[in-house]
Copies of this chain bind each other. A is one copy, B any other.
């Protein structure tokens, strides 16, 4: 292998730039040439591809977002689109790919291999942490810290006013952000799609807290929780328990941005390094993962099955500590 390409795909996540930097420099240090493909599969189809040197990735490790940008491509979902993409890669002499993204991106890479033999190795770049086979994805730690900092600010206000804040965080299918941030900000309750949400139980808990003079509370709700989200929870609480001044906050897109945390910068560096090392040693159709202290390679089909489980121990701790 002499020349590889690198691209980011799907929603952006803090740490993607650190991963790009690591992959580029590892490739160069191992005698490979590297091309950056802009805007994911869209740029692959349009031939938006440029060579990258070490200095092109200087001073980006601390930046949120992705310098290679990311975009959706409907055309890539068609065989014709993928043929164009493959032709462009051949035209540029690109023999292997590093894809930083989530499940959709890895599915695309699998199909590209089946149809055109393009070998791709993935690095999990998504704040949602919903990929199987890795303890943590690039961007997850930063997103949790962003939530925690925001909720710390809300708590100032909650404590000054005897208020209940219902805070909705990202996670359409998974409660990872909600669970860790809920523990970290001492939330009184954490509502996630993976466990049944009993509004009656929540109200009972708030009532008991109130009677123990706990006059401000935070409830964290994952956007994919079966309750329907923060507004629905707020309505239900207001109808049944009127002591609190109930307020809703939807944290939204700020969760995707910001300078990556130290944890995410190190993880992204490890993963960019391991991705290129894996590609060199012949691996493809696999995602780099971190399991405990080990860096592992997880087949794409396993990684994207959405069966990663929430840590039950943390659920139990959350329950105990919120009393």
- A73 CB–B CB distance under 8 Å: no
- A250 CB–B CB distance under 8 Å: yes
Tell me if A71 and B162 are in contact (CB < 8 A).
yes
For this chain, the copies found in one complex come to: 4
- A25 CB–B CB distance under 8 Å: yes
Residue of B nearest to A62 (CB): B152
Cα of A14 to Cα of B123 in the assembled complex, Å = 31
Main secondary structure of the interface of A (DSSP, over half): helix
Tell me if A61 and B162 are in contact (CB < 8 A).
no
Tell me if B21 and A161 are in contact (CB < 8 A).
no
Given B65, B156, B311, which contacts A64 in the complex, CB threshold below 8 Å?
A: B156
Tell me if A69 and B162 are in contact (CB < 8 A).
yes
Tell me if B262 and A184 are in contact (CB < 8 A).
yes
- A78 CB–B CB distance under 8 Å: no
Known: A154-B253, A214-B55. Contact between A160 and B262, CB under 8 A? Answer: no
Tell me if A214 and B154 are in contact (CB < 8 A).
no
Known: A135-B293, A165-B253. Contact between A262 and B22, CB under 8 A? Answer: no
> Number of residues in A with C-beta < 8 Å to the partner?
81
Within 8 A of B (CB), among A1-44: 8, 12, 14, 21-22, 25-26, 28-29
What chain B residues lie within 8 Å of A263 (beta carbons)?
Answer: 141, 144-145, 261, 263
Tell me if A253 and B157 are in contact (CB < 8 A).
yes
A135 CB to nearest chain B CB (Å): 6
Cα of A268 to Cα of B269 in the assembled complex, Å = 26
- A281 CB–B CB distance under 8 Å: no
- A59 CB–B CB distance under 8 Å: yes
> A81-89, A232-240, A315-323: which one contacts chain B?
A315-323
- A91 CB–B CB distance under 8 Å: no
What chain B residues lie within 8 Å of A186 (beta carbons)?
Answer: 21, 59, 61-62
Of A59, A135, A153, the most chain B CB neighbours within 10 A belong to: A153
Residue of B nearest to A270 (CB): B317
What chain B residues lie within 8 Å of A144 (beta carbons)?
Answer: 262-263
Tell me if B61 and A184 are in contact (CB < 8 A).
yes
- A185 CB–B CB distance under 8 Å: yes
- A51 CB–B CB distance under 8 Å: no
Interchain residue pairs A-B with the least CB separation, the first 3: A292-B292, A153-B257, A64-B156
Would you give 18 A-B contacts (Cβ < 8 Å), ordered by A?
Answer: A12-B157, A25-B320, A55-B213, A59-B159, A62-B155, A62-B185, A71-B161, A135-B293, A141-B262, A152-B257, A153-B253, A156-B256, A180-B266, A183-B266, A184-B262, A184-B266, A247-B253, A273-B317
